[in-house]
Structure 1
């Protein structure tokens, strides 16, 4: 049985992002409420730093992404976007890839990332909720990709949205630019569950801590990796890959410990 760490750590060199870790759950909070948590270059950089910190933190097993203020994230900071739009193509490509790297980082992170959405999530902000492994929302939350309404493109986010909800629903959201309710987002597969706002914080925190206690971190990491990878493979290749991972998993310490605990009728605390 492993001891449960209760220490809390913070990353101090962040301006727009808060980072805390306690009881093996890291909480990354968007903290630019006066700008509706809009994403500029620095905020994206700080998010990347916070996720790097969580991934490298041995005391962290599950990550919660949430936001301060009434808006989860309004997407790109339009004033910033207008400024960089007057730069060279090369500069704009570098800036675009900066956001791409953040989304890819979250999607492929070794640790489970849970989005907690208690306000509107627009464009790149909706993209943040999309790339997380699980997304829990308050009934008042709204989701949407309104880029086409301002002559912009939902370019990077659509790659992940197509994977998550399929072409028909993705086309509806991306081509109309309309917002949808949390309940509709759940029906589309964009949101995992809708929770009463006064229960959302406690529910997500309890879920994260329960996953830390009940689940093997190694198993969650490999399962997440496989979910992403098998979608890239032809059917027979995907099955072969799955069989190989199945065989490798049987010899791991975590699998041996978990099976023995089950056979001994003991509760495994990871």
Structure 2
């Protein structure tokens, strides 16, 4: 039986691949569960420093599975609650993963599929890719992703994207801050790999994890509270093995690889 999501590692990079190309990598409960498990696996793998999320086929992800959407009409409130919590857990797992997460988007990323890309730390995309949240066009709401997007883009851009339901191209998505890099189809894999390998070799895994915590606390806490958290994490980092190693290498003018 074909796996809905595949996992492989190479040179301290975990590659997680959506593998439903015949369904445009649409999200259903099974795929959501599989992706969540694989991200947790990568997060706990001490040999992995960077995670790359990509997709098989020509579409990154078309959002919710149409067959699954049909079943929603008959779901109980409990069914809908469990399903929504599962998707929330996936997004949250990616967003808070103590590793660098890169999305490699080689096709359209729509609705929940766009949400998947948006919660990654860095997004590479081909020029042909379209991005958007079309939920309002089918009487639905982009509830979960709104929580992350407001933090990433600011309220003005989020209102524009979520209330219109319109798709935008990769260049505009880059201008908005939704994605980071636009690169052609031929070179995107090599550019993502180079970026990931450079991060794996050049960045302290402990510092990366703590910096992600700092970014999250700066947005979620008041200024006073986030400064207190920054003090705590600063003190914690100074006594870490990575910090001692990094300072010793810097003072000794020795090349350092993590």
TM-score, normalising length from structure 1?
Answer: 0.93
Residue 251 (structure 1) aligned with residue 252 (structure 2):
no
Does the 8 A contact of 2:217 with 2:229 survive in 1? no
SS of the residue corresponding to residue 186 of structure 2 reads helix
Q: Pick from 83, 90, 96: which aligns with 1:102?
A: 90
C-alpha displacement of 1:174? 0.3
Alignment partner of 1:72: what SS?
A: coil
Task: Give runs of aligned pairs for residues 171-182 of structure 1, distance below 5 A.
Answer: 171-182=159-170
Q: Is the 8 A contact 1:119 1:141 kept in 2?
A: yes
Aligned partners of 1:14 and 1:156: how far apart in 2? 29
Residue of structure 2 equivalent to 1:223: 211
Instruction: Tell me the distance in 2 between the aligned counterparts of 1:184 and 1:154.
Output: 20
Aligned counterparts of 1:159 and 1:241: Cα–Cα separation in 2: 22
Rounded to whole Å, the distance in 2 between the matches of 1:191 and 1:76 is 21
User: Counterpart of 2:229?
Assistant: 241
Counterpart CA distance in 2 for 1:248 and 1:83 is: 49
Q: Deviations over 1:80-124 (max 9, x none)?
A: 122133111111111111111100111111111100101100000
Instruction: Give yes or no for contact 1:14–1:46 (8 Å, CA) kept in 2.
Output: no
CA contact (8 A) 1:16 1:43 kept: yes
The CA deviation at 1:240 is 2.0
Question: Distance between the aligned counterparts of 2:229 and 2:80, measured in 1?
Answer: 38
Work out whether residues 146 and 177 of structure 1, in 8 Å CA contact, stay in contact via their aligned partners in 2. Answer: yes
The structure 1 residue matched to 2:61, chosen from 65, 73, 85, is 73
Distance in 1 between residues matched to 2:16 and 2:46, nearest whole Å: 16
| Cross-structure match for 1:115 | 103
Q: Over aligned residue pairs, what C-alpha RMSD do you find?
A: 1.1
Of 176, 179, 201, the match for 2:189: 201
Shift of 1:14: 6.9
Name the SS of the counterpart of 2:51 in structure 1.
strand
Structure 1 segments, 4+ long, off by >6 Å, are none
Q: Which residue among 79, 85, 92 is the counterpart of 1:91?
A: 79
**Contact 1:29/1:67 (<8 A) preserved:** yes
Match of 1:135 in 2: 123
Partners of 1:164 and 1:118 lie apart in 2 by: 21
Aligned pairs for 1:15-164 within 5 A: 15-164=3-152
Deviation, structure 1 residue 128: 0.3
TM-score (norm 2): 0.97
- Alpha-carbon distance in 1 for matches of 2:45, 2:240: 22
Paired residue for 1:3?
A: none
User: What count of residue pairs does the alignment treat as equivalent?
Assistant: 258
Aligned to 1:269: 257
Is 2:24–2:62's contact at 8 Å kept on the other side of the alignment? yes
SS in 2 for 1:71: coil
SS of equivalent to 1:152: coil
